[in-house]
Amino acid sequence: MSTDTTDLPAFPLARQCPYQPAAGYQELQGEAPIRKVRLFDGKPTWLVTGYEQARALLADQRVSSDRGNPNFPNFAPAVAILRRARASAPSVLIGTDAPEHGRQRRMVIPSFAVRRIAALKPGIQRIVDARLDAMEEHGGPIDLVASYALPIPSMVICELLGVPYADHEFFEEKSRLRLDEERGPAAFMELREYLDNLIKAKQANPGDGLLDDLIAEQTKQGRLDREELVAFAIVLLIAGHDTTANVITLGTAALLENPEQLAALRADPELIPAAVEELLRYVSLVSALPRVAKEDIEIGGEVIRAGDSMMIGLASANYSADFVARPDDLDIHRASRHHVAFGYGIHQCLGQNLARAELEIAFRSLLSRFPELRLAKPVDQLEIRAGFIAGVVDLPVSF
Ligand code: HEM
């Protein structure tokens, strides 16, 4: 790719509204489904904004997720810093290609199958009910992030993995700080050390979580070494809490800002599963996924050359005219299930069944417990969290 990037639009664009992607992506998409943009480090990258093109590339074996590739795009300074700091750590799932990726994914996929997740639902409901009781006891206004949206997925992933929830403040903070330009590498190392110690303790004294299963089955058969085991723990713990938490938070804000949709949902709770899909599309938590081409790829009237990097826009695909009409409208009656909020292809979110179960229970229970739920701070005064996963610092609500 040409290195003079001064005329290219900068990427990423900042959100103006906490619960919707930056409007600028739709404008870029109107120009072309694939186009070049400029990263913070001045390097060019392809931005893929079309729905069909995004799915095609995410399912294309010529497209790599290998963070070790020198051309892999860094979409923020903190990401570049963290990537250098953890260069020697093994890649697990998100950063690996076939066939290695398939080997790793097969080890954990049974734990996330629909039937296994269905069995977790009563436990999730208990966690949710306890949070609602605590909120009611406290009274409003209260921060929905700290009191509800974050503890639910955090407790659920702890139970699933076999990580003590008592340590949640530590790992929630470190996982957030890992994307801080100055403190990121140290936070990541502390998280790694914490999980390394936890795994050592589990080896001496096994429990019954997913990490214990991995230790028992995979390491004994020599299919997984210690370093990889720690890397699995990091990926699952990080991917499993902040993401779902932010969809609960931003989805609640979006519903409260769309009273007619909220009223329709309250009137017919059977709509909850469809509403969750629409909220996943509408919020589009992960704006784009980084990739690099291993071979030349002709797509959307362009040729992506071997070695070119790309950012595959999930938010723009979810708002693209070839996927939905009136994308800016939240419409819980529409069929949104084929959104790409969980990605697509071999890396499509491993935890999506779990996330859906948590989201359905969290929204249904919150709305039924608090018929008068409302925002205690106007949306335009909410502090949008910096970073690639959308979020707000807090969401004060009354009820
Ligand atoms: C609403 C919440 C969630 C959203 C929006 C979300 C989004 C995503 C996306 C976009 C990817 C694709 C990454 C890529 O292709 O590079 C992904 C992968 C992944 N997610 Fe989620 N996720 C959510 C919840 C969860 C939960 C609860 C877990 C539980 C552990 C989880 C675990 C993972 C893992 C392990 C991967 C990597 C899969 C692979 O590379 O094969 N996610 N997620």
What digits encode the pLDDT tens for the residues 147-158? Answer: 999 999 999 999
Q: Domains of the chain (ranges plus CATH)? A: 24-398 (1.10.630.10)
Range 238-244 average pLDDT: 91
Rounded-to-integer distance, Cα 263 and Cα 276, Å: 15
Q: Is residue 189 predicted with pLDDT exceeding 80?
A: yes
Which among 349, 353, 359, 389 is the best mutation to test ligand 1's pocket, defined by most ligand atoms within 8 Å of the CB? 349
- Contact (CB, 8 A) for 145 and 394: yes
Q: Which atom of ligand 1 is closest in space to residue 346's alpha carbon? A: 41
Q: To the nearest whole percent, how much of the chain has pLDDT over 70?
A: 99
Range 259-285 average pLDDT: 97
Q: Whose Cα sits closest to atom 19 in ligand 1?
A: 349
Q: Which two tokens stand for residue 134?
A: 């605590």
Q: Which two tokens stand for residue 331?
A: 């419409």
Instruction: Read off the pLDDT band of 60 (50, 70, 90).
Output: very high
Which among 116, 282, 342 is the best mutation to test ligand 1's pocket, defined by most ligand atoms within 8 Å of the CB? 342
| Alpha helices by DSSP H, the chain | 24-31, 51-58, 77-85, 100-108, 114-138, 144, 151-161, 168-177, 184-204, 210-213, 226-256, 259-267, 272-283, 314-318, 352-369
Q: Which two tokens stand for residue 111?
A: 């734990």
Q: Is residue 108 predicted with pLDDT exceeding 60?
A: yes
Q: Is residue 179 predicted with pLDDT exceeding 90?
A: no
104 C-alpha vs ligand 1 centroid, how far in Å? 15
185 C-alpha vs ligand 1 centroid, how far in Å? 22
Tell me: the pLDDT tens digits for 385-394?
A: 877 788 999 9
Tell me: the pLDDT tens digits for 311-321?
A: 999 999 999 98
Q: Which atom of ligand 1 is closest in space to residue 285's alpha carbon? A: 5
Q: Which of 385, 50, 122, 136 is nearest to 246 (CA)?
A: 385
Range 230-235 average pLDDT: 93
Rounded-to-integer distance, Cα 107 and Cα 110, Å: 8
Q: Is residue 2 predicted with pLDDT exceeding 60?
A: no
Tell me: the pLDDT tens digits for 129-149?
A: 999 999 999 999 999 999 999
Amino acid (1-letter code) at residue 307: G
Range 79-100 average pLDDT: 86
Amino acid (1-letter code) at residue 98: A
pLDDT of residue 3: 64
